[in-house]
Amino acid sequence: MNIASVIVDVPAKQTDREFDYKIPEKWVSVIKPGMRVIVPFGPRKVQGFVSQLKEQSEHSRLKSIEEPMDLEPILNPELLELGDWLTVETLCYKISAYQVMIPAALKAKYEKYIKLTSDNGLNALSEEMKALFNGRDRMDWKEVLNSQAASKIQNELLKGNLEVVYQVKNKLNKKRVKYVEAVIPQEGIQEYAAGLPQNASKQKAACDYFISHPGEITLRELIDQTGTTAQSVKTLVQKNVLKEYEKEIYRDPFENRTFSQTNPFVLTDEQEEALRPINQSINTKSDGTFLLYGITGSGKTEIYLQAIDNALKHGKEAIMLVPEISLTPQMVQRFKGRFSNKVAVMHSGLSVGEKYDEWRKIQRKEVKVVVGARSAIFAPFENLGIIIIDEEHETSYKQEENPRYHARDVAIKRSKYHGCPVVLGSATPSLETFARAQKNVYTLLTLKNRLNSSMLPKVDIVDMREELRTGNRSMFSKMLFEKLTERIEKKEQTVLFLNRRGHSSFVMCRDCGNVMNCPHCDISLTYHRYSHQLKCHYCAFEVPMPSHCPECQSDYIRFFGTGTQKVEEELGKILPQARVIRMDVDTTGKKGSHEKLLTAFQEGKADILLGTQMIAKGLDFPNITLVGVLTADTMLHLPDFRASEKTFQLLTQVSGRAGRHKLPGEVVIQTYTPEHYSIELSGQQDFDSFYAQEMQLRKFNKYPPFYFLALVTVSHEDLMKTVSVTEKITKFLSSGLSSDSVVLGPAASPISRVNDRYRYQCLIKYKREPELRGMLKKIVEHYQKETHQDGLQISIDLNPHMLM
DNA sequence: AGCACGCCGACT
DNA sequence: GTCGGCGTGCTC
């Protein structure tokens, strides 16, 4: 096996295949599949992944691998195979599939520079060149391009006085710490110390320490404790009394924090019953997907913890995905508390280095459990016993860039390899998941009761149109204002939720609540400021912005949007005594600020927590007795067929924040469309009815889970070009696909222009289309040239979650 | 994606 | 005659 097939780090159609390289003699036994290597590729050097080893190659003149970048594979055989699967499943490049599975710190950086040829040195150069180099022996390629002397430099290159160097940099910095240890027995140190001159007090201090403390200590600590100096230690090392060495250490994002040990709770009968089949699956090493459908506060987390515990008892590992872990320090707390140092935590709040360290702990088998966001699904465990996806319905599990994978699909794929269960947990499962559970594709496990037999909060839905009629034009209804005042008097806490997504895009009549919808697509129209038109983003429908509501003729028809700052201001006016913490992108930008704000709120330093999506989940504070949703509609009218589902889920989640403990909770939902089923039913916390109704609509409109979707988005700086290409693609697809499938388009994307590029799309709804993948590939190939030269972009999302 | 090779217009 | 524009095709 002295030939390696390598996937090179060049994400392009033409290089999306294996290239064979000779393995130099000295590395024949070192290089294994899954390792990164540096290989010569054309004139440059690039990073690559060894995909397989072989004896023979089709190709005759092979180049040699430059050098390995790892000492052990960073992708194990399972992950290599998973990468192949991802490639097929999401139509991405193989290199992109591999890159997405490893921490960002391991991504190569490239450097190109010119340097003096060693034997001739600076002297061989002309005066002008000498001036340019200005005493240095190398010069960055960018500088070469910027300089006026490019052709002169080229001359020198030809003469051999200069050379171009391509370098692959593994920009990773392992954090290292210096350690010191005695190398001779204590008596020996004593003896040495006695022989020291009087003035060598620093050396003596260090010796004294080691006489009473055998074993290693960090240099830092030694200096701090004994007052010795690094220089004295160095002397002692030279005298062969001590030795100094470095150790790789981990940045610990949770250092200086203690996690009080927690023990398993006693499960309720209901929890017990849900846990049993999961444990059975772990015990029998059989794969299977479970939907743990439990209302908010029903104790899903404890089931996760005990299932993981069972997996660990079988000597297995566990992956636990959560939507955005930094949002729920409580969750980390619970895991670290239960499994202490066996847990690695991976989320977007960590630095690149910290993420790498956590990943290394997994790779080195130092931890057994990983808790993390989407990408943690690729944790390089080799003996998985369970995969859990909490808040399964969350959109963040779908990656919105290449490779466009869904963590749920990856989880199920991995579970089949390992023979272990996947547990999808939610109080408001996605329709896709719930439908599969109904069809027994997944096993349905239900938790109907809240723990501590706390009641679900009482929900009031307030019709804001009515408020308007009675002359209240503020963003707080009379009821919400009264309840707020009451909480402040009783020193209880309130969460105010402002749903800001879909800012100012949809148009609604403030008098009757009528929202302008597309007559063909059953989604809301989007207001376009420039043309003053309302457009549908699925089909090509558009109308001028009306001045009067088509339903009730009122002229109080507006597009929508309110920001958290504005709410905060208004709160200050109407409730000046209230202490408010605002949480949005502005106030949580800095690392750790999120947690600080939450902690402050938990400690009772504020009466009201005001925020957007980010406060919808995971908050579990006993003193919250009121939850207010300022405008429940904003998300409802996004141009997305999942808008109702999202609204229902969000409202249910937010409502679940109230009254989880002893104090009973109340929820006030303000809306302009109280009669909408997703708002009405979320008020009743009635998922089953919502599910039934939404499924009917999905069936009627041919959306998931009844149909699969594929989205082709074309973008180009020229509008006409964009439209015509999309049109051709649409035609090609409609002519080639079966008559059961629906091809919609060409239509402008909801975000119709990004970075001065127009975006058009074609949406395919299908039930069975074995040729689809092939056709999509053909499209990409067909436009390859234009993609390359003309800046045309075609992106394909199989199973899209955002139709943007 | 880079980068070299190569084939046609305006210049020392 | 040559420098350099960027279209074409290759990278083991």
CA A451, CA A210: separation in Å to the nearest integer? Answer: 55
Non-local (6+) Cβ contacts of A333 within 8 A are A259
Question: What residue is closest to C9 (Cα–C1')?
Answer: A14
Nearest nt to A63, CA vs C1'? Answer: C12
CA distance A645 to A635: 10
Q: Three-state SS for A88?
A: helix
Calculate the CA dihedral of residues A347, A351, A353, A356 and round it to 10 degrees: 10
pLDDT at A563: 62
Residues of A from 770 to 789 whose C-beta is within 7 A of strand C: which are they?
785, 789
Phi, psi dihedrals of residue A669, rounded to the nearest 5°: -110, 115
| DSSP string computed for A514-557 | -B-B-TTTSSB-EEETTTTEEE-SSSS-EEEPPSS-TTT--S-E
Listed as ranges, the nucleotides of chain C within 7 A of a protein C-beta are: 4, 7-8, 10-12
Quick one: angle between helices A687-701 and A643-655, nearest 10? 170
CA atoms within 13 A on the CB side of A485: 10
Strand C contacted by A52 CB (< 7 A): no
> A56 beta carbon < 7 A from strand C?
no
- Which nucleotide is at minimal CA–C1' distance from A13? B1
C-alpha A724 chain-centroid distance:
35
Q: Residue A508 has what DSSP assignment?
A: E
Alpha-carbon distance of A318 to A327, in angstroms, equals 21
How long is the CA A142 to C1' B10 vector, in angstroms? 28
Stated as kind and residue range, the H or E segment containing A19 is strand A18-22
Digit-coded pLDDT (tens) for A657-706: 887 777 888 999 999 999 999 999 998 889 999 999 999 999 999 999 99
Residue A802 to residue A679: CA distance in whole angstroms: 21
Q: Gap from A336 CA to C7 C1', in Å?
A: 59
A10 touches strand B (CB under 7 A): yes
Q: Under a CB-based contact definition with an 8 Å cutoff, are residues A71 and A97 in contact?
A: no
Q: A524 and A676 in contact (C-beta within 8 Å)?
A: no
Indicate left, alpha or beta for A134 from its phi (over 0: left) and psi (-120 to 50: alpha). left
What lies within 8 Å, CB to CB, of A607 at 6+ separation is A487, A488, A491, A493, A494, A578, A579, A580
pLDDT for position A218: 86
CA A150 – C1' C4 distance (Å)?
Answer: 13
Residues 6 or more apart in contact with residue A374 via CB below 8 angstroms: A321, A396, A397, A399, A407
Residue A381 DSSP symbol: -
Task: Convert the pLDDT of each residue in A328-373 to its tens digit.
Answer: 667 788 889 999 889 999 987 788 889 999 999 999 999 999 999 9
Q: Which residues of A are annotated as a binding site for Zn(2+)?
A: 509, 512, 518, 521, 536, 539, 549, 552
Strand partners, A177: A247
Q: Which nucleotide's C1' sits nearest to the alpha carbon of A787?
A: B1
Spanning CA of A786 to C1' of B8, the rounded length in angstroms is: 23
Through-space separation of residue A2 CA and nucleotide B1 C1' in angstroms: 28
Report if CB A14 to strand B is under 7 Å.
yes
* Nucleic strand B within 7 A of Cβ A699: no
Dihedral sign computed on CA atoms, order A640, A410, A264, A262: negative
Question: Longest C-alpha distance within chain A, in Å?
Answer: 102
Identity of the amino acid at A97: A
**CA proximity to A163, closest of A206, A225, A121:** A121
Q: Is-contact A737 A766, C-beta < 8 A? A: yes
From the C1' of C3, which residue's alpha carbon is nearest? A151
All residue ranges of chain A with pLDDT < 70 are: 118-122, 171-175, 252-258, 325-329, 500-505, 520-523, 528-530, 537-540, 560-563, 565, 584-591, 617-618, 754-756, 804
Burial label, A433 (beta-carbon count in 10 A; 0-12, 13-18, 19+): buried
Backbone dihedral region for residue A788 (phi beyond 0: left; psi -120 to 50: alpha; all else: beta): alpha
Length of chain A measured in residues: 804
Whether the beta carbon of A157 falls within 7 A of nucleic chain B: the reply is: no
Q: Which residues contact A700 (CB under 8 A, 6 or more apart)?
A: none
What is the strand order of the sheet A526-528 is part of?
A526-528, A533-535, A542-544
A755 touches strand B (CB under 7 A): no
Taking alpha carbons only, the member of A523, A526, A528 closest to residue A643 is A523
- SS3 string of A92-160? CCHHHHHHHCCCHHHCCEEEEEEEECCCCCHHHCCHHHHHHHCCCCEEEHHHHHHCCCHHHHHHHHHHC
- Residues A552/A509, Cβ–Cβ less than 8 Å: yes
Radius of gyration of chain A (CA): 31
> Pairing between strand A624-629 and A708-716?
unpaired
Element (H, E) at A233: helix A230-238
The pLDDT score that the predictor gives to residue A504 is 45
- Looking across all nucleic acid strands, the nucleotide with the smallest C1' to CA distance from residue A43 is B3
Report CA(A315)–C1'(C10) in Å, whole number: 50
Q: Is the peptide bond before A704 cis (omega within 30 degrees of 0)?
A: no
Beta carbon of A11 within 7 Å of strand B?
yes
Q: What is the pLDDT of residue A100?
A: 97
A151 touches strand C (CB under 7 A): yes
C-beta atoms surrounding A352 within 10 Å: 15
* Identity of residue A511: D
Residue A561: predicted pLDDT:
47
CB of A165 nearer than 7 A to strand B: no
Q: Is the CB of A43 under 7 A from strand B?
A: yes
Residue by residue, DSSP assigns A408-435 as HHHHHHHHHHHT-EEEEEESS--HHHHH
